[in-house]
Amino acid sequence: MTRIRIAGTGSFLPERIVTNDELAQRLPKTSDEWIYGHTGIKSRRVAGPNESASSMGLIAAQRALENAGIAPEDLGMIIVSTATPDYAPTPLVSCILQDKLGATGAAAFDMSAACCGFIYNLEIAKNFYYKPDFRKPILLVATEVMTRKVDWNDYKTCILFGDGAGAVVIEPNEDAAAPSDLVDTIMRADGARGEFLLLEGGCRSYDSLNHPKAHVLQMAGTQVFTFAIKAIEEVVQDLTKRNDLTYDQIARIVPHQANFRIIESAAKRLGFEDLDKFYINVDSVANTASASIPIALDEMNRSGELKRGDKILIAGFGAGLTYGGNYLIW
Ligand code: UT7
């Protein structure tokens, strides 16, 4: 199997910052104290009226390509993860990006696994290199405008989410001396608990299109919370065990950024004494669904904290329910 490397990263966050205090002015049942104390979130970014999954994804993609030093016309494929596409669902966001980037030679498709979309897509992308004659770079984008899919009167749900996009460019690692690779991936699902994160408005039945909550996320918060802690614990445990990794060998763990308390509880159950290894930006970015992991990777890459050869674990969970993770050597 061809080894791969992440050649470049990019991200985009909308300019508009909405603080907990601002939310609480509109939703008197909540407060900064409650939100921060129960989630670790202080603020989130909210897309402007003309921003969309494709417009945010385009900027993240351009930044990733620039970071990689790769021209759009050299891309072989574009894979987009989004639960909030511009259209429902066609034209695909990946096809819009292919056009806007000028990536004329790239295949393009959207591949959704909710918040785990990026985790799943990294593995899917790597597998295209099974073809000996396919060596072109692949662009992975995860872009979400979750704030358009929440009920802004539902103070139990809307406080969690923010908007943003992340992107990475992968390419074959042809340098035998360079350790970079996507070494292992876990992709799991628990469809029996799908209703814990439910978004109507699909083609399930004629009535589902006109359902009173057709276009807003309905969430069983406590149930997802419990599931999420176990999911992160299981993924980190399995990835370390089957790759013979000790915690000391891992440079960073990048969890899905949904709630600080989920990360804290999972870390405790895994036996970490502190959260030093865990990358956390949920305080200012909130939950950007599948964009959360590539946004975090881009922040880490651009701050210079990632070194080639670093061992990184990614762990996520989300609607579906899906969960999973990756073991990357940077
Ligand atoms: O990508 C995956 C997306 N989803 C998630 O990750 C969600 C995971 N779940 C969570 O993060 C947490 O369950 C929440 C933050 C959503 C809720 O926290 P919780 O500690 O599980 O609260 P709860 O739903 O059990 O509610 C406890 C109390 C209730 O009041 P009473 O009935 O005890 O008087 C709620 O009404 O907290 C109240 N409450 C709030 N109060 C102020 C719930 N949400 C809020 C709020 N502000 N935003």
Cβ of 225 less than 6 Å from ligand 1: yes
Q: Which of 146, 158, 225 to mutate to test the pocket of ligand 1 (most atoms within 8 A of CB)?
A: 225
pLDDT cut 70: percent of the chain above it: 100
Average pLDDT of the chain, as a whole number: 96
Say yes or no: 101 and 228 in one domain.
no
CATH number for 254: 3.40.47.10
Say yes or no: 143 and 186 in one domain.
no
Task: Take residue 42 and report the two structure tokens written for it.
Answer: 């202080």
For residue 212, the model assigns a pLDDT of 77
Cβ of 282 less than 6 Å from ligand 1: no
User: What is the whole-number distance in angstroms between the Cα of residue 203 and the centre of ligand 1?
Assistant: 30
Domain end (from 172, 201, 220): 172
Say yes or no: 80 and 123 in one domain.
yes
Q: In angstroms, rounded to a whole number, what is the distance separating the alpha carbons of residues 114 and 127?
A: 20
pLDDT above 90 for 191: yes
Say yes or no: 150 and 235 in one domain.
no
Q: Which of 222, 226, 321 to mutate to test the pocket of ligand 1 (most atoms within 8 A of CB)?
A: 222
**Among 1-10, 21-30, 41-50, 201-210, whose mean pLDDT is lowest?**
201-210
Say yes or no: 262 and 308 in one domain.
yes
Nearest CA to ligand 1 atom 12: 221
Domain that holds residue 22: 4-172
Q: In angstroms, rounded to a whole number, what is the distance separating the alpha carbons of residues 159 and 256?
A: 16
Strands 17-19 and 4-12: unpaired
Say yes or no: 116 and 209 in one domain.
no
Reported as a pLDDT band with limits 50, 70 and 90, residue 89 is confident
> How far, in Å, are 2, 103, 171, 313 from residue 70 at the CA level?
20, 11, 10, 26
Domain end (from 106, 138, 172): 172
Ligand 1 atom closest to residue 287's alpha carbon, by position in its atom list: 1
Q: What's the start-to-end Cα distance of the chain, in Å?
A: 17
pLDDT above 90 for 104: yes
User: Do residues 329 and 177 make contact, with C-beta atoms less than 8 angstroms apart?
Assistant: no
120-159 pLDDT, tens digit per residue, is 999 999 999 999 999 999 999 999 999 999 999 999 999 9
Say yes or no: 154 and 192 in one domain.
no
Q: In angstroms, rounded to a whole number, what is the distance separating the alpha carbons of residues 318 and 324?
A: 9
For residue 213, the model assigns a pLDDT of 80
> Which residues are known to be catalytic?
115, 256, 287
Say yes or no: 161 and 246 in one domain.
no
Say yes or no: 125 and 253 in one domain.
no
- Average pLDDT rounded to a whole number, residues 157-182: 97
Say yes or no: 200 and 224 in one domain.
yes
Domain end (from 172, 190, 225): 172
Which residues fall within 8 angstroms of residue 37, CB to CB, at 6 or more apart?
A: none
230-252 pLDDT, tens digit per residue, is 999 999 999 999 999 999 999 99
Phi, psi of 18 (to 5 degrees): -115, 115
Number of structural domains the chain divides into? 2
Reported as a pLDDT band with limits 50, 70 and 90, residue 202 is confident
Say yes or no: 167 and 150 in one domain.
yes
Say yes or no: 120 and 241 in one domain.
no
